[in-house]
């Protein structure tokens, strides 16, 4: 007996990525640097979030050529982004044999009401969330992995921290509640009841939860791990910095050794220039990618 | 009893859950200060390339090699088995202790990952294979086949080491947990179940 793409197999891949770093890359050359630096997976993109932010316009799924080039160049899993609600972009990625699809707010949304029904795909999905309601709605739609939205392309970790703390606080409320309160909590957070029941039974989210959006330094990665994230996505932080290979490696070491300040200090030495950050307060609501998704 | 679980990255928390379920103490090991007095070792699933890279900094594999060779019960799953294999197609040997040839990502990408029926010692159950490697050669007579999926070899034992290409830590079924408990308890005299 052999069944492919079961729920357990999809969530299982996310389990195997835990404690690791997933890096944004725009070509095969960057993918190889990421793999050699110890990335557990790469995210194939046409432009990294900082450039999407700077260039403006409509951001779509990467070209198939770039994705295939990256898939051919490394032995670790390859992820790619589809626009929120753009199930045809997801169908194309699925047909390429991509290892994970990120239904991502970093791209321009294609549907202002609905996300993709993720149950019907062979590839597992990861989705961003700012709170427990969003996280559980994505899980109900079939997401096998959750990540904080943070504020991609800013090099500013404050939003990722806010989202992780919010999810953790709301999770704790569900875990410690009396069973009679579950329906009311479901209403309060816009969280599907069946997912809250799973949380109550497991005493945690039923899927892996990574940090993403604004992580630029080894200390940022360790901060998110100490806040309880299962692993880290780094987007613009690596290839917008002075020495990408060295910074990538330092963030990998920091993510494994997140509880050891001495090691964190050591790997943070002589890293060269980090990416230039953006103060989130200077962004208008339309410029905030985390506001996308519903 | 203390069971050391390599915790650079991967399914170390799932393995720690298995160890807790059989009433033993999981120890998350990342550096050499954490490997004193261990009674057993587990190498989890994950990405073997990342674990190798992290070891360049954390420097643990030499000590783990000595521990395995001292004869303590050692279990590896998926990427862990790649680390322990003596010959790796699509990679390099890391802590060679099992005389097998292993081929990385041998079933293909994640879309080819599957749940399949597996014989494991005297039991039959369904387990996950996630971007799994294949055991493509047995390189000595000391290697005993203990697990199969259809006609494929998916698990072997060589003295104190049991190496699997699938993920029993994602199941924690009764048979596996009983086996794990016995395997660890038997210590240096470990034989098949």
* pLDDT of B169 above 80: yes
> Which distant-in-sequence residues (6+ apart) come within 8 Å of B145 by Cβ?
B138, B153, B155, B156
Q: What pLDDT, on the 0 to 100 scale, is given for residue A256?
A: 98
User: What percent of chain A shows pLDDT beyond 70?
Assistant: 100
- Closest approach of A118 to chain B, Cα-based (Å): 14
Q: What pLDDT, on the 0 to 100 scale, is given for residue B189?
A: 65
Picking from A185-199, A275-289, B114-128, which range would have the lowest pLDDT averaged per residue?
A275-289
> CA-nearest residue of chain A to B128?
A9
B70-104 pLDDT, tens digit per residue, is 999 999 999 999 999 999 999 999 999 999 999 99
Please report whether residue B52 resides in a domain: yes
Contact A97 B109 (CB under 8 A): yes
> Which distant-in-sequence residues (6+ apart) come within 8 Å of A269 by Cβ?
none
Q: What is the DSSP secondary structure assignment for residue A211, as one 8-state letter?
A: B
Range A101-111 average pLDDT: 96
* pLDDT of A246 above 80: yes
Q: What pLDDT, on the 0 to 100 scale, is given for residue A277?
A: 81
Closest Cβ opposite residue B47 in set A12, A76, A263: A76
Closest Cβ opposite residue B170 in set A8, A18, A20: A8
Cα–Cα distance for residue pair A44/A81, rounded to 1 Å = 8
* pLDDT of A126 above 80: yes
Please report whether residue B40 resides in a domain: yes
Cα–Cα distance for residue pair B180/B182, rounded to 1 Å = 6
Q: Which helix (H) or strand (E) holds B90?
A: none
> CA-nearest residue of chain B to A8?
B128
Please report whether residue B165 resides in a domain: yes
* pLDDT of A122 above 50: yes
Chain A residues with CB under 8 Å of B9 CB are 17-20, 40, 231, 255-256
B180: tokens are 């794990």
Range A4-30 average pLDDT: 97
Average of per-residue pLDDT values in chain B = 95
Chain B residues with CB under 8 Å of A122 CB are 111
Closest by CA to A104, choosing from A147, A167, A58, A159, is A147
Is residue B169 part of the annotated active site? The answer reads yes
Chain B residues with CB under 8 Å of A13 CB are 110, 113, 130-131
Note down the domain range covering B111.
2-185
Asked if the ipTM is above 0.90, the reply is yes
pLDDT interval class at B193 (50, 70, 90): very low
Q: What pLDDT, on the 0 to 100 scale, is given for residue A53?
A: 85
Q: How many CB pairs under 8 A join A and B?
A: 135
Chain A residues with CB under 8 Å of B109 CB are 71, 77, 97-99
Residue among B15, B128, B149, B169 flagged as catalytic = B169
- Closest approach of B22 to chain A, Cα-based (Å): 18
pTM, two decimals, is 0.96
- For B85, the 3-state DSSP assignment is strand
Contacts 24+ apart (CB under 8 A), A141-144: A141/A115, A141/A116, A141/A117, A142/A117, A142/A118, A143/A103, A143/A118, A143/A207, A144/A7, A144/A10, A144/A11, A144/A13, A144/A14, A144/A118, A144/A207
CATH code (residue B75):
3.40.50.880
Contact B49 A100 (CB under 8 A): no
B111-141 pLDDT, tens digit per residue, is 999 999 999 999 999 999 999 999 999 999 9
Please report whether residue B192 resides in a domain: no
Give me the active site residues of A, please.
81
What residues of chain B have any CB closer than 8 angstroms to a CB in chain A?
Answer: 7-14, 30, 45-47, 49-50, 53-54, 57-58, 78-79, 90-91, 104-105, 108-117, 126, 128-131, 149-150, 167, 170
Assign residue A57 a region (left: φ > 0; alpha: ψ between -120 and 50; beta: otherwise): left
Please report whether residue B19 resides in a domain: yes
A66-89 pLDDT, tens digit per residue, is 999 999 999 999 999 999 999 999
Contact A75 B49 (CB under 8 A): yes
Please report whether residue B193 resides in a domain: no
- Closest approach of B192 to chain A, Cα-based (Å): 25
Chain B residues with CB under 8 Å of A222 CB are none
For B20, list phi and psi in degrees, rounded to 5. Answer: -65, -40
Closest Cβ opposite residue A13 in set B30, B110, B150: B110
Chain A residues with CB under 8 Å of B110 CB are 13, 77, 97-100, 123-124
Please report whether residue B59 resides in a domain: yes
Chain A residues with CB under 8 Å of B102 CB are none
Please report whether residue B180 resides in a domain: yes
- The total number of structural domains in chain B stands at 1
Cα–Cα distance for residue pair A232/A139, rounded to 1 Å = 19
- Residue of B45, B91, B108, B115 to mutate for A, most A C-beta atoms under 10 A: B115
Asked if residues A27 and A68 have their Cβ atoms less than 8 Å apart, the reply is: no
């Amino acid at each position: 007996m052999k069944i492919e793409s079961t729920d357990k197999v999809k969530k299982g891949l996310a389990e195997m990525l835990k404690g690791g770093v997933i890096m944004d890359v725009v070509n095969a050359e960057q993918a190889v640097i990421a793999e050699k630096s110890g990335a557990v997976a790469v995210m194939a993109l046409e432009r990294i979030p900082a450039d999407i932010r700077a260039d403006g316009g409509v951001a779509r799924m990467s070209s198939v050529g770039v994705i295939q080039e990256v898939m051919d160049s490394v032995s670790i899993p390859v992820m790619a982004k589809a626009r929120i609600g753009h199930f045809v972009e997801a169908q194309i990625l699925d047909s390429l044999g991509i290892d994970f699809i990120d239904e991502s707010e970093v791209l321009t949304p294609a549907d202002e009401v609905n996300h993709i029904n993720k149950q019907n795909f062979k590839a597992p999905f990861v989705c961003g969330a700012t709170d427990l309601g969003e996280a559980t709605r994505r899980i109900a739609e079939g997401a096998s992995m959750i990540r904080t939205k943070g504020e991609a392309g800013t090099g500013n970790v404050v939003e990722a921290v806010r989202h992780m703390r919010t999810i953790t606080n709301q999770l704790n409320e569900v875990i410690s509640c009396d069973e009679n309160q579950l329906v009311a909590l479901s209403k309060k957070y816009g969280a599907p009841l069946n997912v809250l029941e799973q949380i109550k039974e497991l005493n945690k989210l039923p899927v892996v939860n990574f940090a993403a959006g604004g992580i630029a330094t080894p200390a940022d990665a360790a901060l998110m791990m100490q806040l309880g994230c299962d692993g880290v996505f780094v987007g613009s932080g690596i290839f917008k910095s002075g020495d990408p290979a060295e910074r990538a490696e330092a963030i990998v070491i920091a993510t494994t050794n997140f509880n050891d300040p001495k090691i964190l200090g050591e790997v943070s030495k002589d890293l060269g220039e980090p990416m230039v950050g953006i103060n989130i307060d200077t962004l208008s609501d339309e410029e905030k990618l985390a506001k996308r998704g519903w | 009893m203390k069971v050391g679980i390599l915790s650079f990255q991967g399914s170390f928390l799932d393995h720690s859950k298995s160890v807790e379920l059989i009433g033993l103490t999981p120890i998350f090991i990342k550096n050499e200060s954490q490997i004193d007095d261990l009674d057993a070792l587990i190498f989890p699933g994950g990405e073997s390339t990342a674990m190798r890279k992290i070891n360049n900094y954390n420097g643990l594999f030499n000590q783990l090699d000595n521990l395995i060779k001292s004869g303590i019960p050692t279990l590896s799953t998926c990427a862990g088995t790649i680390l322990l294999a003596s010959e790796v197609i699509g990679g390099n040997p890391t802590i060679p202790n099992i005389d097998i040839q292993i081929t990385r990502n041998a079933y293909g990408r994640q879309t080819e990952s599957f749940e399949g029926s597996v014989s494991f010692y005297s039991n039959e159950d369904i387990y996950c294979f996630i971007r799994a490697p294949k055991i493509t050669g047995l390189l000595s007579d000391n290697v005993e086949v203990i697990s199969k999926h259809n006609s494929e070899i998916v698990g072997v034992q060589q003295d104190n080491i049991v190496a699997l290409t699938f993920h029993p830590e994602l199941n924690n079924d009764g048979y596996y947990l009983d086996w794990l408990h016995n395997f660890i308890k038997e210590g240096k005299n470990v034989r098949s179940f």
